[in-house]
Amino acid sequence: MKRTMIYCLLVGYLCSFQTNNLPEGFVYIKDIIPDIVVELRYHGSNNFVGQPIEGYNDSRCILTRSAADKLKNVQNELRHFSLGLKIFDAYRPQKAVDHFVRWSKNTDTKMKAEYYPEVAKENLFKEGYISIRSGHSRGSTVDLSIISLQNMKELDMGTQYDFFGKESWPSNINISADQRSNRMLLQSLMKNHGFNPLKEEWWHFTVEDEPFPDTYFNFPVQ
């Protein structure tokens, strides 16, 4: 009986270790912010490629501990107003970036009308929408929006996530007043809690003083 109990405890410990076997300094965001909403777009087909992306073996969101702790502060502030965060992407393995690069060189344009209607696919690389390296692979960059906790719907930001075009620039003024206000709310909160925005994407933020500024990781999302 005693030997059986020890065996069960050992198996439980090993299983727990394997499911949380992340590089030092990384965490699962749900372990830090249990109530945050995650819709990891590259784990499914609702993205500009139109299929699951290599390296996304699960829909679990991974970030550096530094980024997760700062994001928790944003979530806590939003919660006072019955609002919350919704994450579309966070840590991105290098093999996923490689998948994007290969896709940019083929003739598949099935998602063009939805995600890049005004940009020729052959120009996505040249115009910077796709590159051979991504800040996401360093683990401290996150793509997100704000949702209402009353109906769980996203606030209107003027474009959908991952829309390639100037319409997605945070500084774009050719959107409604409500859409601009929603973008300003997101930008202000993220900046106040230690994130730097990207001028071409309203959803994209990177932690100031990120812990791995020169390292591009390739462990899978699982």
**Percent of the chain surpassing pLDDT 90:** 89
Residue (of 195, 197, 116) closest to 162 by Cα position = 116
43-52, 57-66, 85-94, 125-134: range with lowest mean pLDDT: 125-134
Would you state the pLDDT for residue 6?
Answer: 37
Query: Is the predicted pLDDT of residue 16 greater than 80, yes or no?
Result: no
Amino acid identity for residue 44 in this structure: G
Take residue 62 and report the two structure tokens written for it.
Answer: 């991974």
Query: Is the predicted pLDDT of residue 34 greater than 80, yes or no?
Result: yes
The predicted-structure confidence for 148-194, as pLDDT tens digits, reads as follows 999 999 999 999 999 999 999 999 999 999 999 999 999 999 999 99
Would you state the pLDDT for residue 201?
Answer: 97
Place of tokens 């699962």: 28
The predicted-structure confidence for 74-118, as pLDDT tens digits, reads as follows 999 999 999 999 999 999 999 999 999 999 999 999 999 999 999
Which residues are known catalytic residues? 201
Would you state the pLDDT for residue 114?
Answer: 97
Query: Is the predicted pLDDT of residue 137 greater than 50, yes or no?
Result: yes
Would you state the pLDDT for residue 43?
Answer: 98
Query: Is the predicted pLDDT of residue 134 greater than 70, yes or no?
Result: yes
- For residues 37 and 86, the answer to whether their CB atoms sit within 8 Å is yes
Query: Is the predicted pLDDT of residue 13 greater than 80, yes or no?
Result: no
Determine the length of the chain.
Answer: 222
Question: What is the CATH code for 25-207?
Answer: 3.30.1380.10
Take residue 204 and report the two structure tokens written for it.
Answer: 């994209």
Residue (of 107, 31, 108, 15) closest to 65 by Cα position = 31
Average pLDDT over residues 138-152: 98
Q: CB under 8 Å to 106, separation ≥6 — which residues? A: none
Query: Is the predicted pLDDT of residue 8 greater than 90, yes or no?
Result: no
**Percent of the chain surpassing pLDDT 70:** 91
Average pLDDT over residues 15-27: 71
